[in-house]
């Protein structure tokens, strides 16, 4: 695939993509290997919604990630794995080896009864086997559902049950910084509440003792003994599902965002090559976890489709010290580095001495993803990591968009601190006002929508198409609504201002306030709660919880700890509130709606102008909340 190599070429490509979307994407799609070509490039409507790309095209994404590279790149390194412990050896896997290991594990899945269309859940550490197993699912046409290994047993069980998964892939334990976690124990607890899992295949990572249930649990290494390494790729329709990935919305229940084979493949490689301006021998590193969309699209699929060398890191940025990222950049001569603002802000706090120890001269392009990057962090990243010569690509996108939507193209289009800048070719963003009218012109602000389909867009929410329609396509009929607020400046550059719905973004992780409230409310002493986000120096947003207790109990520090424990059990440690305030009531309107605007202001410490509180059922509770605020 040829990439855009100049600003004028970007403009030309953009215009082509708007004036003739089918012609534009036909050209891009033609660079992949298809088992049979499509009849029609695009068929769509946004009411139901019903979007079909490369209609009747047949392919397997793993043939494009692996097989097609073997002739000329078989010995090239596909994956470099960097372990949590720097004293453990890194592992390099060539395209030949990766192909073989994917085929072997695909055969393990087949041996255990997996079929095309089955859902397979992966709950694993950041080890090469996670990437291998993900691709093995795609090889046989099973739908992978990767669940981040920081989620609790309850959250895992909910996700397994929602998608009726029949196989669970996990490990004995995982290493993360100084911690060792027993994943298998968590999986066992989850499986007590699941009755669709026939096989649980367990990878040995930590070597710790685990329970193995007869008839259900199998060792990964034993299963590999039983297979050979030939596995034909399942022929998939372009619109067959490739994966589901659960993400939070404004209701309590996470939804399984579903992506389909053909369109996702085309856009993953297109966006990867163009945004990062990937060149043949570049070493590329995205620090995300494969449990999130960034890991799916830009650790596994985008780079492997491009035949790139992609680094997978098992650990955390601060272990054994805050120089770890930079040590790895030096060690593997990383050219393209992609991380989250929360990591940048966390490392910023450690000063620059830990950076100066390392040679970062290989870096060309730096990326940012997951949340708005504040100007200070942007400047710090540009100066101290990029040494004022690297491009920073601030990439805006979502689990639902499958790939990067708005971003500079490194070294090609302009960058501007805190701005995601311009849409990629093929992407037609627009801003709408609260009445749903499109806001024209520049120097404007509104809600961010997309008015034309793109190949990697969400197709449905697993098992509940109506929900997909309601959440994304009903607020502004005829448009996909992102849930984000956005400005467009005088140059036409986009700047994402944050969520406009009840979703908060904590360290780049999306969390529904309702989801956290449901977690808190599981504590026996809690009657009701309301959760809002507030600005947090490192996490971007912190979680502030207002909690009403049963009248028979007193609020204490111990009780706060218990509530945090409940949330950890219900969702996972990432959802733990940073602050808990016990209150006797919540500011509700006469119709019972909580006025979150007031709670947000109090959490932000800005009580000077709370706006109109006259519609509240009991305006007195506001003063009590202000007095008790932290
Ligand atoms: C936010 C992550 C500002 C946004 C890929 C979006 C961003 C949500 C940026 C999606 C960015 C992501 N600038 N905000 N560059 N990137 N966001 O689904 O609010 O985990 O709606 O996907 O993160 O989060 P998700």
Q: What is the 3-state secondary structure (H, E, C) of 322-333?
A: CCHHHHHHHHCC
pLDDT in tens, 475-513: 999 999 999 999 999 999 999 999 999 999 999 999 999
Q: Does residue 588 sit within a domain?
A: yes
Q: Does residue 127 sit within a domain?
A: no
Helix (H) or strand (E) segment spanning residue 503? strand 503-506
Alpha helical stretches, state H, 84-163:
95-111, 128-140, 153-162
Cβ atoms of residues 189 and 199 within 8 Å = no
Judge whether residue 171 has pLDDT over 80. yes
369 CA distance to ligand 1 centroid (A)? Answer: 7
Range of the domain at 549: 503-629
184 CA distance to ligand 1 centroid (A)? Answer: 31
Sheet order of strands, 480-488 included: 438-439, 429-432, 444-450, 480-488, 494-499
| The pLDDT of residue 451 | 98
The CA-CA-CA angle for residues 514, 516, 517, to 5°, reads 60
How far apart, in whole angstroms, are the C-alpha atoms of residue 57 and residue 37? 5
Q: Does residue 256 sit within a domain?
A: no
What distances in angstroms separate CA 617 from CA 528, 531, 550, 583, 601, one per listed residue? 16, 19, 20, 16, 19
| The pLDDT of residue 3 | 96
Residue among 99, 114, 116 nearest 62 (CA): 99
Which CATH number covers residue 545? 3.30.300.30
pLDDT in tens, 282-296: 999 999 999 999 999
Atom of ligand 1 lying closest to residue 294 CA: 5
| The pLDDT of residue 540 | 94
Q: Does residue 622 sit within a domain?
A: yes
Q: Does residue 86 sit within a domain?
A: no
How many domains are there within the chain?
1
Out of 231-235, 309-313, 620-624, least confident range: 620-624
Report residue 113 CA to chain centroid gap: 29
Q: Where are the beta strands (DSSP E) in 456-500?
A: 460-461, 480-488, 494-499
How far apart, in whole angstroms, are the C-alpha atoms of residue 286 and residue 470? 33
Q: Does residue 620 sit within a domain?
A: yes
**Protein residue closest via CA to atom 6 of ligand 1:** 398
Atom of ligand 1 lying closest to residue 394 CA: 15
Atom of ligand 1 lying closest to residue 373 CA: 13
Atom of ligand 1 lying closest to residue 498 CA: 19
56's torsion region: left (phi>0), alpha (psi -120 to 50) or beta?
left
484 CA distance to ligand 1 centroid (A)? Answer: 9
Judge whether residue 630 has pLDDT over 80. no
How far apart, in whole angstroms, are the C-alpha atoms of residue 3 and residue 13? 10
Pocket test for ligand 1, best of 271, 366, 398, 504 (most atoms within 8 A of CB): 398
Q: Does residue 398 sit within a domain?
A: no
Residues in contact with ligand 1 (CB, 6 Å cut-off): 247, 292-294, 368-372, 394-399, 420, 482-484, 496, 499, 505, 510
Q: Does residue 565 sit within a domain?
A: yes
Cβ atoms of residues 197 and 168 within 8 Å = yes
Three-class SS string for 40-75?
A: EEEEEECCCCEEEEEECCEECHHHHHHHHHHHHHCC
Percent of the chain with pLDDT over 90: 94
Percent of the chain with pLDDT over 70: 100
Atom of ligand 1 lying closest to residue 400 CA: 18
Judge whether residue 555 has pLDDT over 90. yes
332 CA distance to ligand 1 centroid (A)? Answer: 28
Judge whether residue 375 has pLDDT over 90. yes
Out of 146-155, 326-335, 581-590, least confident range: 581-590
Judge whether residue 607 has pLDDT over 90. no
Q: What is the pTM of this model?
A: 0.96
| The pLDDT of residue 590 | 86
| The pLDDT of residue 592 | 85
How far apart, in whole angstroms, are the C-alpha atoms of residue 69 and residue 76? 9
């Amino acid at each position: 695939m040829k990439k855009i190599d100049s600003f004028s070429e970007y403009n030309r490509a953009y215009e082509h993509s708007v004036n003739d979307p089918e012609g534009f994407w036909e050209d891009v799609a033609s660079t992949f290997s298809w088992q049979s070509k499509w009849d029609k490039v695009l068929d769509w409507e946004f009411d139901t919604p019903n979007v079909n790309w490369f209609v009747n095209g047949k392919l397997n994404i793993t043939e494009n990630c692996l097989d097609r590279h073997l002739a000329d790149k078989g010995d090239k390194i596909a994956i470099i794995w960097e372990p949590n412990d720097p004293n453990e050896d890194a592992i390099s896997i060539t395209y030949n080896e990766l192909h073989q290991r994917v085929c072997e594990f695909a055969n393990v899945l087949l041996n255990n009864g997996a079929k095309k269309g089955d859902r397979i859940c992966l709950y694993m550490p950041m080890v090469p086997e996670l990437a291998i197993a993900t691709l093995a699912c795609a090889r046989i046409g099973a739908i992978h559902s990767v669940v981040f290994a920081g989620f609790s047993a309850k959250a895992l069980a909910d996700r397994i049950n929602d998608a009726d998964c029949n196989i669970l892939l996990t490990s004995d334990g995982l290493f993360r910084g100084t911690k060792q976690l027993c994943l298998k124990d968590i999986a066992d607890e989850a499986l007590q509440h699941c009755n669709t899992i026939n096989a649980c295949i367990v990878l040995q990572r930590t070597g710790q003792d685990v329970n193995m249930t007869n008839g259900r649990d199998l060792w990964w290494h034993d299963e590999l003994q039983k297979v050979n390494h030939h596995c034909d790729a399942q022929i998939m329709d372009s619109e067959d599902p490739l994966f589901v990935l659960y993400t939070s919305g404004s209701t309590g229940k996470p939804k399984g965002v579903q992506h389909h084979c053909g369109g996702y493949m085309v856009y993953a490689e297109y966006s990867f090559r163009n945004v990062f301006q990937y060149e043949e021998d570049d070493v590329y590193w995205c620090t995300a976890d494969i449990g999130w969309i960034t890991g799916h699209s830009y650790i596994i699929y985008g780079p492997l489709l491009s035949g790139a060398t992609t680094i997978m890191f098992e650990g955390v940025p601060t272990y054994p010290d805050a120089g770890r990222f930079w040590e790895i950049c030096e060690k593997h001569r990383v050219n393209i580095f992609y991380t989250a603002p929360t990591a940048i802000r966390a490392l910023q706090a450690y000063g620059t001495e830990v950076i100066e120890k390392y040679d970062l001269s290989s870096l060309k392009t730096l990326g940012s993803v997951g949340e708005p990057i504040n100007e200070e962090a942007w400047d710090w990243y540009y100066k101290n990591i990029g040494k004022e010569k690297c491009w920073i690509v601030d990439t805006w996108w979502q689990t639902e968009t499958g790939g990067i939507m708005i971003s500079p193209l490194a070294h090609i289009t302009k960058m501007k601190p805190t701005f995601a800048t311009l849409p990629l070719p093929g992407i037609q963003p627009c801003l709408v006002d609260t009445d749903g009218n499109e806001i024209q012109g520049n120097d404007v602000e509104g809600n961010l929508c997309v008015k034309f389909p793109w190949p990697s867009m969400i197709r449905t929410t697993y098992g509940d198409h109506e929900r997909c329609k309601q959440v994304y396509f009903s607020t502004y009929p005829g448009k996909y609504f992102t849930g984000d607020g956005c400005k467009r400046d005088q140059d036409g550059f986009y700047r994402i201002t944050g969520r406009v719905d009840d979703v908060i973004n904590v360290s780049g992780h999306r969390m529904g306030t309702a989801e956290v409230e449901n977690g808190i409310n599981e504590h026996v002493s809690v009657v009701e709660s309301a959760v809002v986000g507030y600005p947090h120096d490192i996490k971007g947003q912190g979680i502030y919880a207002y909690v009403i207790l049963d009248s028979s109990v007193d609020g204490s520090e111990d009780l706060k700890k218990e509530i945090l424990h409940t949330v950890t059990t219900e969702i996972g440690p990432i959802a733990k509130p940073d602050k808990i305030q016990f209150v006797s009531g919540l500011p509700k309107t006469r119709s019972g709606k909580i006025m979150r605007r007031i709670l947000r202001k109090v959490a932000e410490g800005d009580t000077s102008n709370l706006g109109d509180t006259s519609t509240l059922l009991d305006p007195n509770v506001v003063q009590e909340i202000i007095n008790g605020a932290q």
